[in-house]
Amino acid sequence: MNPRKKVAFYTLGCKLNFSETSTIARSFTNEGFDRVDFSEEADIYVINTCSVTENADKRFKNIVKQAQKANPHAFVAAVGCYAQLKPEELADVNGVDLVLGATEKFKITDYIHDLSKNDFGEVHSCEIQEADFYVGAYSIGDRTRAFLKVQDGCDYKCTYCTIPLARGISRSDTLENVLQNAKDISTQGIKEIVLTGVNIGDYGKGEFGNKHHEHTFLDLVKALDEVEGVERLRISSIEPNLLKNEIIAFVATSKRFVPHFHIPLQSGSNAILKNMKRRYMRELYENRVTKIRELMPDACIGVDVIVGFPGETEEQFLATYHFLNELDISYLHVFTYSERDHTEAAIMEGVVEPKVRAKRSKMLRGLSVKKRRAFYEKQLGSRRTVLFEGENKEGYIQGFTENYVKVKTPWNPYLVNTLHDIQLTKIDKDGLVRFEFIKVKKYVSV
pLDDT of 440: 55
CA neighbor of 199 nearest in space, from 180, 186, 179, 213: 213
DSSP track, 44-98: EEEEEE--SSHHHHHHHHHHHHHHHHH-TT-EEEEEEHHHHH-HHHHHTSTT--E
At 117, the pLDDT band (50, 70, 90 cuts) reads: confident
pTM over 0.75: yes
**Strand spans (E) along 249-360:** 260-266, 300-307, 331-336
pLDDT score of 443? 43
Q: Return the SS3 of 204.
A: coil
b/e code 126-145 from CB counts within 10 Å (16+ = b): eebeebeebbbbbbbebbbb
pLDDT digits (tens, 9 = 90+) for 195-254: 999 999 999 998 877 677 789 999 999 999 999 999 999 999 999 999 999 999 999 999
The reported pLDDT for the residue numbered 57 is 62
By mean pLDDT, which of 78-92, 101-115, 258-272, 399-413 is the weakest?
A: 101-115
| pLDDT tens-place string over residues 241-258 | 999 999 999 999 999 999
Using one digit for the tens of pLDDT, what is the confidence trace for 278-289? 999 999 999 999
Task: Please count the other Cβ atoms lying within 10 Å of the Cβ belonging to residue 285.
Answer: 24
pLDDT given at position 14: 85
What is the pLDDT, as a whole number, of residue 2?
57
**Most confidently modeled of 55-64, 97-106, 114-123?**
97-106
151 near 22, Cβ under 8 Å? no
Q: Give percent of the chain above pLDDT 90.
A: 83
Are residues 27 and 46 in contact, defined by beta-carbon separation less than 8 angstroms? no
Res. 445 pLDDT band, cuts 50 70 90: very low
The letter for the amino acid at 177 is N
pLDDT band at 446 (very low <50, low <70, confident <90, very high): very low
Q: What is the pLDDT of residue 444?
A: 44
The yes-or-no verdict on residue 140 having pLDDT over 90 is no
